[in-house]
Amino acid sequence: MIETDSLAAQEGGGQALGRFLQDRRAKLDPASFGFSSIRRRTPGLRREEVAQRASISSAWYVCLEQGRGGTPSADVLDNLAKALLLTDAEREHLFLIGLGRAPETRYKRPEGIEPRLQRVLDKLNPAPAFIKTATWDVVAWNEAETVLWPNLGRLAAKERNTLRLVFLDPGARALYYDWEAVARMSVAAFRADVARAGAMAEVAALVDELSRSSPAFKAMWQDNDVSDSAHAVKDLRHPVLGTMSFEVSSFGVDGRQDLTMIVFVPASPDVAERITSLLEIRDKADRTRDSPPRPA
């Protein structure tokens, strides 16, 4: 059995925790856990069944629901979250009312994005925009983003990583006016993001690959710099469209703490017009290539 911490819960926090546990317990179907549904006076699991699933004593679980069980440890709360099949948001709430703090970050590999997010990206054209994970994998983008990174759609999923693009894409050094400054800031921000997400183990293979392939990355990684992402005005040098300035912003994705949307807003109407023109030219060329040949 897992023991509690010695700290006593505040009365208000204990009562809130108890009410939340009762509510979540009542919403579970006993049959789905292999428990009999016969002779149940109230809906949901019994207290002893939750205690069994959470590896704690039934008596103590009863005390927790009654608001007099003291302050449970983080391990106990984590076990209760699993026992009650809590969502990530519910698990965070459980920790906030039980311990007064959020749980430690637990990295979970994203499983893709909802169609609504792709529609948002598409509406942002001609502003280049993409969605990345905590490990900087690009999981969605709009057409305008391919103006900056033409090969993005042709890359394998594991190769669509913004840090990999900065260091291994042949066009990266030409795209950024001060590539070294951008690269150094990227490494420092990447280190901060993956540590915050608890994903250092997940990026070990990527770090090893970049260290072997790029002496510049290896040197910057060994500096151990850490920094938040700095998004302001960025000047880029496009091989066809010339110099373009963007105001760069990042946004959390509602309901998806594992994702961040990055948007490059054209700093002037001229930049937006140039991107739009290039997209129209490419679209026309694609339609011409895909159309059947005219009969002789």
Domains along the chain with CATH numbers: 11-99 (1.10.260.40), 115-290 (3.30.450.180)
Q: How far is CA 12 from CA 23, 71, 97, in A?
A: 17, 12, 9
What integer pLDDT is reported at residue 253 of this predicted model? 87
**Residue 66 to residue 62: CA distance in whole angstroms:** 6
Per the model's pLDDT, the better-predicted residue between 257 and 207 turns out to be 207
Whether 50 and 79 have beta carbons less than 8 Å apart is answered as no
- Please give the share of the chain, as a percent, with pLDDT higher than 70: 90
Q: Of the ranges 124-133, 136-145, 168-177, 285-294, which one carries the lowest mean pLDDT score?
A: 285-294
Q: What is the tens place of the pLDDT at every residue in 72-84?
A: 999 999 999 999 9
pLDDT-based confidence at residue 295 (cuts at 50, 70, 90):
low
**pLDDT for residue 252 is more than 70:** yes
Share above pLDDT 90 across residues of the chain, in percent, rounded to a whole number: 59
Q: Is the pLDDT of residue 10 over 50?
A: no
- What mean pLDDT do residues 130-146 have? 95
- Would you state the pLDDT for residue 9? 39
CA 53 to centroid of chain Cα atoms: 29
pLDDT number for residue 291: 61
The Cα–Cα gap between 117 and 285 comes to 27
pLDDT in tens, 156-215: 988 999 999 999 998 999 999 999 999 999 999 999 999 888 888 899 999 999 999 999
Looking at residues 243-263, what average pLDDT do you find? 90
Taking the C-alpha atoms of residue 280 and residue 289, their distance in angstroms, rounded to an integer, is 14
pLDDT at 265: 96
Structure-model confidence comparison of residues 228 and 262, the more confident one: 262
Tell whether the model's pLDDT for residue 41 goes beyond 60. yes
Q: How far is CA 246 from CA 92, 217, 235, 237, in A?
A: 36, 25, 6, 11
- The conformation of residue 247, written as its DSSP 8-state character, comes to E
Q: Angle at CA 110, nearest 5°, toward 31 and 29?
A: 10
Q: Mean pLDDT, to the nearest integer, of 77-101?
A: 89
**pLDDT value at residue 211:** 97
- In this predicted structure, what is the pLDDT of residue 286? 77
Strands across the sheet containing 233-238? 138-141, 129-133, 256-266, 242-253, 233-238
Q: Are 145 and 261 in contact (CB under 8 A)?
A: no
Per-residue pLDDT at 105 exceeds 70: no
- Mean pLDDT, all residues of the chain: 87
Q: How confident is the model at residue 3, as a pLDDT?
A: 39
CB half-sphere exposure, 80, CA atoms < 13 A: 33
- Burial pattern 136-166, b for ≥16 Cβ within 10 A else e, equals bbbbbbbbbbbbbbeebeeeeeeebbbbbbb
Please state, in angstroms and rounded to a whole number, the distance separating the CA atoms of residues 152 and 107.
25
pLDDT confidence band for 6 (50 / 70 / 90)? very low
